[in-house]
Every structure is written in structure tokens, then in C-alpha cells.
Amino acid sequence: MTATSSLTARPVLAARARLGECPVWDPDRRRLYWVDIYNHRVHEFDPDTKADRWFDTGEVVSALVLARHNRLLLALRNRLAYLHLDSGVVEPLQELEFTLRGTRFNDGKCDPQGRFWIGTMSEQPGQAVLYRYDTDGALHVMETGLTTSNGLGWSPDGASFYLTDSEVREIYVYRFDARTGAISDRRVLINFSGEAAVPDGMTIDRRGHIWTALWDGWSIVHSDPNGQPIERIRLPVPRATSLAFGGPKLTDLYITTASVALSQTEIQRAFQAGDLFCIAGAGEGVPAAAFGAQ
């Protein structure tokens, strides 16, 4: 039995997002960026003032990473694009044609070398793919046979890569070659098949500990580098989606959540569903890598 933590997740923004996802802390602007997938919004949250502004992308937006020149790199439904923060202009970069109905991009993150890793989710089991988008515009298939490619991360020493397949309730770990960007020797690190909750987004802290958002789990789980659970932190909402360390010292853990597909009864029980939460002093994170920056 995983110990219940004494840490408290407090609401910091009443966003009421349909599907909040992919929080990323920008240390230069001291802002938290995150997406509301089905409302087609990229949010910019200022923890100091509690102000939140958003950009309308005009379509599903599933993931974002920091980029140079006051931009964010976005994964939309089936294409990659830059969002220019000064103007709000969405600049298309590359489009893919997904042959299977219901397939779209899902979670994404930059590796420490500044390459963008982005997976898909499919309505057909085993038909999702993990891609790596390099700074020269080349797009590489890195893994196949997935169903819902989700939470990504790298160990602080750069030797390991983590990938979540939510549909099968497993988190994998691979050997990672930082120079070439290759992954190999996949094995199951954490299996959640024994519970109803589904692993969603993740973040890795400076110690190499793994923090996983649990969809329909009313919680997040904190595990050691070997995948052994340390503690479970309760939330007042059922659907945690992703998480990221932020704040001046990267010690504040921000958590995005979802309200999509909850019944009216469930919403009444969890009226803060879709809001942004924060756990102060949860640990110490690793700065998020920006696209193209090393």
C-alpha cells in the first residue's frame, strides 16, 4: 500500500479547463504555460499576480515546449507550429496525414539536447507512434505499437528515457543515447494494471524521482527511480492530467486537471475539476529544455 502524503495540492487558478495538459515552466518569463486541448487554448499563467491570459490556436492543441525568440513550439491535431507570444500568430511548420480516424498528436516534451518528442493517440490499439522532431526539421519514428503515447521524461544523468502508454497502464524506461537521440532496451518500469486509475503525464525531479498524474485516480503518485511508489498525494478532483515543477527555485509542483466527460453529479462532487493546482515545496525540478537550445 502506497503511503498517503501530507503534502497538499492547493488551487491557484479557477480555469475550469475541459482538458488541461502539458504544463511547462519558463524561468526567464517566470510564467507557467499549459494547454486546454479541447478549448483550443494555450495559457500563460503568472503565479505572482495570478493573472492568466490565453491564445486561441483555432484547433486542438495537445502539447507545447519552450522555443527561442519569444515563441512556443506547439503540437496541434496533426501538425507542428510555432506560437509567437508577442502577436499570438500561429506559424505552421509541418503537417502529418494520419490515416486512421481519431488519431491525433498527444503529449510532447523536449529532450535535454533540444529535440522535440511527440506521440500520438489512436482509437485503434497498437496504432499510435512516438516521433522525434529535430531542429533541422527532420521527423523520425522512434517507437510504434502504442495506443496512447503519453507522459515523457529523461533521467537527470541523461541515460534513461521514460514513456507512458496510458491505454495499457504502463510506464516504460529505455536506454537513451544523448548524442544520437536513439532509444533502446525497453522494459516496463511501472505497471498500473492493478488499479482503476490511468497514468497520464509525468515529470522527473532532480533526484530522478518520477511524479505521475493519475486520470480517474484523484491523486498523483511519487515514485523512486526504480519505479517503487513512495507516496500518493490526494487531489480534490478525479482527473489529474500532467505536472511540472516551477517557481523561482523549481520547488513548486503545478498540476493540470480535466473536467471533460464528467457527469453533473461528478462535477458537483469535484467542482474544481479543470482547475490548476500547485503543491509548494514538493521537491526540486529540472529546468525544462527549449526546442533547439542545448
Distances from the Cα of 134 to the Cαs of 26, 76, 197, in angstroms? 21, 17, 34
Q: How many whole angstroms from its chain centre is CA 10?
A: 19
Q: Which residues are catalytic?
A: 200
Given CA atoms 130, 161, 40, 123 in this order, what sign does their dihedral have?
A: positive
User: What span, in angstroms and rounded, lies between the C-alpha atoms of 15 and 43?
Assistant: 10
- With contact defined as beta carbons under 8 Å apart, do 227 and 171 qualify? yes
Which residues face 220 on adjacent strands? 213, 233
Q: How many whole angstroms from its chain centre is CA 271?
A: 23
Question: Is residue 268 helix, strand or coil?
Answer: helix
Q: Which residues contact 6 (CB under 8 A, 6 or more apart)?
A: none
User: What span, in angstroms and rounded, lies between the C-alpha atoms of 194 and 151?
Assistant: 19
- With contact defined as beta carbons under 8 Å apart, do 181 and 255 qualify? no
- With contact defined as beta carbons under 8 Å apart, do 234 and 226 qualify? no
User: What span, in angstroms and rounded, lies between the C-alpha atoms of 80 and 93?
Assistant: 5
